[in-house]
Amino acid sequence: MNYIGSKYKLLPFIKETIYEVVGKDLSTQIFCDLFAGTGVVGRAFKTEVKQIISNDIEYYSYVLNKNYIGNHIPFEYQPYLYELNSLEGTEGFIFREYSEKGSAGRNYFKELNGKRIDAIRQTIEQWKKENHITENVYYFLLASLLENADKVANTASVYGAFLKQLKKSAQKDLYLEPALFVENQNEHLVFNEDSNILITKINGDILYLDPPYNHREYGANYHLLNTIAKYDTFAPQGKTGLRSYQKSAYCKKNKVQEAFETLIKEAQFRYIFLSYNNEGLMPAQMIRDIMQHYGKYDLQSTQYNRFKADKEENRQHKANYTTEYIHILEKN
């Protein structure tokens, strides 16, 4: 998934920074990924630590991480995928509101794929109600649907807008490939809460923070993934079919400082690592000033290619890279 702020390409930098501070043997450590997104950081440490605590306020992220982080014991899944891939499409909510030839005129998916998303999503939910599948399988199948629906979505990258004409990848037929998870013996925790509330209820050893850097709201940019994941009834708003979502204090210049300082103050973790870049709402000096009040502070940085959601954004920015920081705190 081409995801805003994804740390996939930065994993070597993140892991090496954490190893330098904490050590390479993390087998007794509880690692919290508080703004998990698609869970790439938590996945990278899943087999190295005692436990992962994964959290994100967006429900699609919760679904992905219930699978990628929460699932750790293998199960048989091929018969379920075979049956879902064999379904005929149906004219449901996604087709009507978000598909080519749907009544709302929002071309996020071609006609067939919109109908197939409806049929697959309805079947997964029916299986759950009938206890035909376990909770682990339920989230595995939902994660597989989200991942593969995203591959055929008719967008430039995020769901803030759809393209007028179907792009090449959106012309392909939806097919469910498995959203495979890493197996291990340890149980992990996955939450769907406001990070500043959850931080008062958990504790551990390593806290990794990757909050939004700027005004981009994930609830708006990935609203359709939330809609597929929740498959609830609501009245889509505007040209893009937006659903209501909780706005983040980390996306607001007048609120981010207070939210961040509260988070650091409340964190019951020895080591805190904050990923942030040089174009974020909080200047590096502000972050330093806040963190060093609570313990020993350090900083690492690297250059990183900029996330570009569409051609318009490419034209607006001359630089192709940003400076990615990891702010480090060892709490008193």
Six-digit token pair at 280?
A: 């974020």
Q: Are residues 140 and 266 in the same domain?
A: no
Model pLDDT for residues 16-73, shown as the tens digit of each residue = 999 999 999 999 999 999 999 999 999 999 999 999 999 999 999 999 999 999 999 9
Six-digit token pair at 277?
A: 């870049």
Does residue 29 lie within any of the structural domains?
yes
3-state helix, strand, coil in the chain (%, to 5): 40, 15, 45
64 Cβ neighbours under 8 A, 6+ residues apart = 38, 39, 143, 146, 147, 179
- Phi, psi of 186, rounded to the nearest 5 degrees: -90, 145
Rg (CA), the chain: 20
CA distances from 46 to 68, 70, 105, 220, 268 (A): 9, 10, 42, 29, 20
Six-digit token pair at 94?
A: 């996604």
Q: Are residues 276 and 226 in the same domain?
A: no
Does residue 185 lie within any of the structural domains?
no
Q: How many structural domains does the chain have? A: 2
Model pLDDT for residues 86-140, shown as the tens digit of each residue = 999 999 999 999 999 999 999 999 999 999 999 999 999 999 999 999 999 999 9
* CATH code: domain of residue 325: 3.40.50.150
Q: Are residues 226 and 121 in the same domain?
A: yes
Pairing of strands 295-305, 51-55: unpaired
Q: How far apart are CA 314 and CA 22, in angstroms?
A: 38
**Domain of 155?**
73-180+218-247
Model pLDDT for residues 256-281, shown as the tens digit of each residue = 999 999 999 999 999 999 999 999 99
Closest to 224 in 3D by CA, of 64, 60, 105, 71: 60
Q: Are residues 127 and 83 in the same domain?
A: yes
Q: Are residues 120 and 242 in the same domain?
A: yes
